[in-house]
Amino acid sequence: MSEDQFPGWHGTTIIGVKKGGEVVIAGDGQVSLGQTVIKGTARKVRRLSPGGYDIVAGFAGSTADAFTLLERLEAKLEATPGQLARASVELAKDWRTDKYLQKLEAMLIVSDGTDIFVITGAGDVLEPEHDVTAIGSGGNFALAAGRALMDTNLSAEEVARKAMGIAGDICVYTNGNLTVETIKQ
């Protein structure tokens, strides 16, 4: 079915901000189908605790696909306790080479409080250059706002909330119903 016949699911903005000894991952709650808001209170940021280690993850894309990836990430983290970078690379390798996983349409931002990574289906594990990253429909708006706010006296959470507010004002697929998770170094 073409994009014109079935417009597809849209609507997520996730931001990750590393500042002042903590990482904040925030996500909006909007899920849209074409021009219709299906749900405004989706929870796209989650706390994981594989092997007793605290991890925060936010996802953009298909919810079922994202949950599949989060389950795989948890398994990788249980196999490599305390090694988020290694688990992320292993997940990205599987995602790129496994025929089933290749069809998954989602992206992840993950953090253990020290590192923050974006994991993509193209096999990428990206660490943001300026301690702020964003994904999803309004990701570029949130990223630009977050980068501009990093040199202020705002905390990581304040930067994330303000950047998400700006993204929500610009992107029709982003709302102000935020889920915010903080993890300290």
Residue numbers annotated as active site? 12
Residue among 81, 120, 121, 79 at smallest CA distance from 101? 121
Q: Pull the structure tokens for residue 32.
A: 């849209």
Under 8 Å between Cβ of 126 and 138: no
CA nearest 10: which of 121, 171, 178?
Answer: 171
Q: Rounded distance, CA 78 to CA 86, Å?
A: 11
The strand order across the sheet containing 13-19 reads 132-136, 13-19, 22-27, 179-184
Number of neighbouring beta carbons within 10 Å of residue 180: 17
